[in-house]
Amino acid sequence: MWCEPARKPGLFVTALAMALLLVDASAIDAAGDARLAEAAMKRDHAAVRALLAQGVDVNEPGSDGTPALHWIVRVDDLDTASLLMRAGADATRADRYGVTPLYLACANGNAGLIRLLLAAGADANASDPTGEPALMTAVRVGALDAVRVLLEGGAMLDARDPTFQQTALMLAVRENHPQVVRFLVERGAQVNARTRTGEAPRWILPNSVPGFGHGVGIVRGGLPERGSRAPIPGGLSPLLYAARDGRLDTARILVTAGADVNQADANGISPLVMAIANNHADVARFLMDHGAEINASDWYGRTPLWAAVETRNMDVDNATFENSVDREPLFNLIEVLLERGANPNVRMKEVPPIRRSMLRITGSLSWVDFTGQTPFLTSALAGDLRVMRLLLAHGADPHIPTFAGT
């Protein structure tokens, strides 16, 4: 018995799709022919080629305002992107949100597409809708080849974002891409650039409600009579970012490239204090070995020694910290600081950024003004006998009171 050979369903579907594409021009919506963009969105390569052969406008956006090239770049389709570009796709055109194909290529870290778009007229210094330069977008994802192509295409090495005035190098440090950091500094990126400095926050006065916290050295919230203020935002350098986040390899790259190990932020916080306050003893030791000032204090009066004593005994609401423990690496760091001449009797000048030492948040101690405290008083407050003995052995005066006399 003879039977007609079965046809492959795929061939029928393709033929039907081609027939549907060959519609009369009068059937196209007055707003424009969106079929190419829709086909690109669906990654229907056969339909894309057929529509281009018909001469459909390659730059006409789809119903959501996105042109075909955007969809293709978004999925890293270099071959189809090349096809669209040869058909006249605009490499500089933004969608209705202000996003360009170059931004999408940079966000994907696709060096090949970036090269293609630059050759077609895309601006290597273009920014995304937030003002972030294309180079910073590529740096954010750690795409070294993409960064290289952008710089070869004319991207400004030290371009900044408009909000915080960060550079690409700062972003590479923040996102922990040491290979990109090394490449940028080798190309001459400014290792001592600083972010924008904000205005000083207003001072917050202690609560003086009758019946609450009155007495010598006793005020509500543990604030001195003049109150306290939050840190001034900004003034961060690449090395301060590395110190804050514990990026030892990156810190080495930056210091080798000439980063100032004592360049402070807007509050006078040095990289050394920044590293210690964030529990990065290894970075702190590296900075000490490369010229960091042992007794430099910030606006609050914190020295590296005071910060080490506090951080060793600090309890914080942060999953990266193990609380209610004495941090041994910081004890070793305290020993080194004292051996190298750290002053154990320097007193705090202002209330530092909010910290919660183990005993400070219990009972009436949370009401005491501790400005003027020494590292010894800080260790005593936490009940850290090992550090107290160590400080005494290096000349700490146990009788120095706070500014309030407590």
Domain ranges, residue 307? 215-232+271-406
Residue 30 located in a structural domain = no
Smallest Cα–Cα separation from 119: which of 97, 147, 141, 86?
86
Smallest Cα–Cα separation from 382: which of 318, 338, 339, 334?
334
HEC per residue, 338-356: HHCCCCCCCCCCCCCCCCC
Residue 200 located in a structural domain = no
Residue 304 located in a structural domain = yes
The pLDDT tens digits of the residues spanning 214-269 come to 455 555 556 677 777 888 999 999 999 999 999 999 999 999 999 999 999 999 99
The pLDDT tens digits of the residues spanning 69-103 come to 999 999 999 999 999 999 999 999 999 999 999 99
Residue 333 located in a structural domain = yes
Say which residues have a Cβ less than 8 Å from residue 263's Cβ, sequence separation at least 6: 192, 194, 237, 239, 240, 270, 271
pLDDT tens digits in sequence order for the chain, 406 residues long: 334 344 444 433 333 344 444 444 444 443 458 999 999 999 999 999 999 999 999 999 999 999 999 999 999 999 999 999 999 999 999 999 999 999 999 999 999 999 999 999 999 999 999 999 999 999 999 999 999 999 999 999 999 999 999 999 999 999 999 999 999 999 999 999 999 999 998 887 766 444 444 455 555 556 677 777 888 999 999 999 999 999 999 999 999 999 999 999 999 999 999 999 999 999 999 999 999 999 999 999 999 999 999 998 876 555 455 554 567 889 999 999 999 999 999 999 988 775 544 444 444 455 567 789 999 998 998 889 999 999 999 999 999 998 888 7
Contact yes or no for 376/313 (Cβ under 8 A): no
CA pair distance 276, 308, nearest whole angstrom: 6
Phi and psi based region of residue 55 (left: phi greater than 0; alpha: psi -120 to 50; beta: remaining): left
pLDDT of 352:
78
Task: Output the six-digit token pair for 143.
Answer: 């795409």
Residue 100 located in a structural domain = no
Say which residues have a Cβ less than 8 Å from residue 46's Cβ, sequence separation at least 6: 14, 17, 18
- CATH number, residue 323: 1.25.40.20
Say which residues have a Cβ less than 8 Å from residue 239's Cβ, sequence separation at least 6: 191, 192, 251, 254, 255, 259, 260, 261, 263, 271
DSSP 233: P
Q: What angle, 0 to 180 degrees and rounded to 10, lies between the N-to-C axes of helices 385-393 and 328-339?
A: 10
Q: What is the pTM of this model?
A: 0.84
**Number of structural domains in the chain:** 1
CA pair distance 75, 387, nearest whole angstrom: 57
Residue 322 located in a structural domain = yes
Residue 130 located in a structural domain = no
Residue 10 located in a structural domain = no
> ∠ CA(227), CA(240), CA(103), 5° rounding?
115
- DSSP per-residue letters across 88-130: T--TT---TTS--HHHHHHHHT-HHHHHHHHHTT--TT-B-TT
Using DSSP's 3-state secondary structure scheme, residue 133 falls into strand
